[in-house]
Structure 1
Amino acid sequence: MNKFMEMLENVLLPIADKLNNNRYLTALRDGFMVALPLIIFGSIFVVIANLPFLDRVISEDAFAAYQSALGPASAATLSIMGMFVIIGIGYKLTEHYENEAIYGGVVALTAFLILTPQVLEGLTGVIPTASLGAQGMFLGIFTAFIAAELYNFFVRKDWTIKMPAGVPQAVSRSFSALIPITLTLSFFLIIRIIFSYTGFDTVQNFIYTIIQQPLTQLGSGLPATIVAVLLIQVFWFFGLHGQIIVNSVFDPIWYTLNEQNLSAFQAGTELPNIVTKQFIDSFIVGMGGSGMTLAVIILIFIIGRSRQMKELGKLGAPAGIFNVNEPIIFGLPIIMNPLIIIPWLLAPVVVTIITYFAMATGLVPPPAGVIVPWTTPVVLNGFLATGNAWQGGLLQAVNLVVVMMIWWPFLKIMDKSYYEKEKVAKKS
């Protein structure tokens, strides 16, 4: 076991360290964080607009008017979430270079709009909202990276207009950004013109066909999901924030799948994906905190005999209800604890498989694309994530029991060890 842990540490820690310090992955992660409050706002109103049984309580016309009144909340946020992510990435990457971050954000968004098709059903000058959401997500990410890098390159070269002293600072900054922005956006305009002479017609069609579709199909499968979940657990075991590291890579895929489900849910059609952002956050990683440790807290109250375990349960329970599990991560402890590596790695994989097949067989509806705030307690979380379906809450409850069963013998051993040590300490 020690040799195995040493091998994992030698292999994974350098990789995790590089991922944590990679400026592009950091900007990508922070870019999604910029968009998150807006995404949650839109998701809340999707839930309110689709309250269960409301269509049976009020008339059909009243229900349609009710949904129409609340519709702009999601249309202005979830449907165009790619735009917010792009601004966030451009802003954060430019901030990394210690330049005017706001210009990095707006130049990234403008570059993306230049590359985006502006034709909808024969009408020119109209941008399809699908291009600003899931379909344009990957193009937006790549564009934001390149646009921010170009802008910062031109700034570092000092290709700027210098205004005389006495000019207001806001005016001076605006003129300083003029040449870097012009050169950056000209580059993207040339790219758009070149692609208009190809079979793809636009860069967005090229990215969607060559990169986004294959990656999305791969990320929506069970094997890739299991690998992602395992990596999250392994990184956490070594004291690294597994979700931040793995989400930096998988979030573009999971959010794209999430938005596809949301569009289908709002249209009342069959949900196309099982694995989505909310599949991971509500039913796997975030169910009671990373590693589903709410189940561990419940188990401590059931079988705990040692004072250490009982106190840890009391300390961890209030936070654990709201999916905050640092008291358990550091208090049990989980980090670098060989006694719990088996349940820590095994439980999320088993729950992933159970959840996937429960949804694949139709026992539980797939996630509806609604982004549920991560602090929402278990059961209510699953209910909301599946579009107000009671089966989602029941599945979370079942998953908690499964995790408790897996952890039971290992936690029993730990508790017994603590209990014996406490007895010896008491006698001495």
Structure 2
Amino acid sequence: MNKFMEVLENILMPVADKLNNNRYLTALRDGFMVALPLIIFGSIFVVIANFPFLDKIISKGAFETYQQMLGPASDATLSIMGLFVIMGIGYKLTQHYGLEAVYGGAVAIASFLILTPQTLENATGVIPTEVLGAKGMFLGIFTAFISAELYRFFVQKNWIIKMPPGVPDAVSKSFSALIPITFTLGAFLIVRIIFGFTSFDTVQNFIYTIIQQPLTHLGSGLTATIIAVLLIQIFWFFGLHGQIIVNSVFDPIWYALNDENLQAFKAGAGELPNVVTKQFVDSFLVGMGGSGMTLAVVILIFIIGKSRQTKELGKLGGPAGIFNVNEPIIFGLPIIMNPLILIPWLVAPVVVTLTTYFSMSWGLVPRPAGIIVPWTTPVILNGFLATGNAWQGAVLQAFNLGLVVCIWWPFLKLLDKNYYETEREDKTNEVKANQEKHQVLG
């Protein structure tokens, strides 16, 4: 076991360190965080617009009017989430270089729009919302990275207009950004013109066909999902925030899959296209007490815990675990570098991934509806909302939680026994020491 852990540490730690410190992955992660409040806002109104049984209570016309009234909330956020992510990436990457970040965000959006088709059927000057969401996600990410780098290059080359002293700061900064922005946007305009002479017609079609579709297909598979889940667990075991590291790579794929499901759900499609989405991972794995589904550990502590250490940990980690915050368990049990719990820590998430995947693939449970449920939403309610207000999602979460409890039971019992025996031994030694002290004083 020790040799295995040493091999894992030697292989994974350098990789994790590089991923964690990579400026592009950091900007990508932070870019999604910028968009997250807007995405959650839109998701909340999707839930409200599709409240269960409402269509049975009011007339069909009233229900359609009700949905139309709430529709702009998601159309202006979820449907065009790519724009917010692009702005966030450009802003954060430019900020990393110590430059005026707001121009990095602005030039990223403008560059993306230059490359984006602006025709819809026979109408020109119209941008289809689908390319501002899932379909345009990968192009937007690449564009944000490249535009921020070009902007940085031109600024650091000092190709700027310097205004005389006394000019207001806002005006001076605006003119300083003029040439770098002009050259950056000019470069993207040239790219658009070149692609107009190819069979792809637009960069959007090229990226979607050559890169996004194959990667999305790969990322939606069971094997890739299990690998991602295992990496999250392994990184956490060595004290690294596995979710942040792995999500930096997989989030563009999972969000794109999520958006495809959302559009199908809003259109009233019978079966949604994807099983694996962002919410598949966040609700049915992370949404059960945090990474590793440690709410099951808290439940077990209250059932079988005898040692003082685990009992106190249960009291401390219980309230936080209900809202999917599990740092007290990860660092208090501890899970980090603890060989006694390595097996359940790795096995339980894989088992839950399998049960969730096949339950949804076989139609026993509705697939994630594309609704971004806030990550602090408690288990059961989380599954209900993530599947578009379906009771089967709540039942699946309860079933999975029971599975995790069963997997952890023998290992936690052994760990608790070790703690209990150590505490008894310490107490015995303390009593002996006190007795010896009294005898000496007497």
TM class by shorter-chain length? over 0.9
Match of 1:160 in 2: 160
CA deviations over 1:317-338 (Å, ceiling 9, x no partner): 0000000001000000000000
| Runs of 5+ consecutive residues of structure 1 not aligned to the other structure | none
| RMSD, matched Cα | 0.4
Is the CA contact 2:265–2:369 (under 8 Å) kept in the aligned structure 1? yes
CA deviations over 1:52-105 (Å, ceiling 9, x no partner): 000000011110010000000000000000000000000000000000000000
Distance 1:423 1:181 in 2: 70
Match of 2:327 in 1: 326
Name the SS of the counterpart of 1:98 in structure 2.
Answer: coil
Match of 1:411 in 2: 412
The one-letter code of the counterpart of 1:204 is: Q
Distance 1:107 1:178 in 2: 11
Deviation of 1:285 (Å):
2.7
CA deviations over 1:366-419 (Å, ceiling 9, x no partner): 000000000000000000000000000000000000001000000000000011
CA deviations over 1:7-35 (Å, ceiling 9, x no partner): 00000000000000000000000000000
Name the SS of the counterpart of 2:334 in structure 1.
Answer: coil
Is the CA contact 1:229–1:285 (under 8 Å) kept in the aligned structure 2? no
Distance 1:427 1:227 in 2: 47
* TM-score, normalisation: structure 1: 1.00
Is the CA contact 1:285–1:348 (under 8 Å) kept in the aligned structure 2? no
CA deviations over 1:296-324 (Å, ceiling 9, x no partner): 00001000011111110010000000000
Q: Which runs of at least 4 in structure 1 moved beyond 6 Å after TM superposition? A: none
Distance 2:194 2:411 in 1: 61
CA deviations over 1:150-175 (Å, ceiling 9, x no partner): 00010000000000000000000000
- Is 1:392 the counterpart of 2:384 in the alignment? no
* TM-score, normalisation: structure 2: 0.97
Deviation of 1:110 (Å):
0.2
Identity of aligned residues (%): 79
Deviation of 1:284 (Å):
1.3
Match of 1:248 in 2: 248
Q: How does 1:22-171 map to 2 (within 5 A)?
A: 22-171=22-171
Is the CA contact 2:220–2:277 (under 8 Å) kept in the aligned structure 1? yes
Deviation of 1:426 (Å):
1.2
The one-letter code of the counterpart of 2:379 is: V
The one-letter code of the counterpart of 1:329 is: I
Match of 2:372 in 1: 371
The one-letter code of the counterpart of 2:143 is: T
The one-letter code of the counterpart of 2:289 is: G
The structure whose Rg is larger is 2
The one-letter code of the counterpart of 1:246 is: V
Distance 2:287 2:48 in 1: 23
Match of 1:350 in 2: 351
The one-letter code of the counterpart of 1:161 is: I
Distance 2:316 2:286 in 1: 21
Distance 2:416 2:184 in 1: 61
Match of 1:281 in 2: 282
CA deviations over 1:115-163 (Å, ceiling 9, x no partner): 0000001100000000100000000000000000000010000000000
Is the CA contact 1:20–1:26 (under 8 Å) kept in the aligned structure 2? yes
| Runs of 5+ consecutive residues of structure 2 not aligned to the other structure | 430-442
Distance 1:422 1:182 in 2: 69
Distance 1:41 1:409 in 2: 42
Distance 1:263 1:39 in 2: 14
- The size of the alignment, in residue pairs, is 428
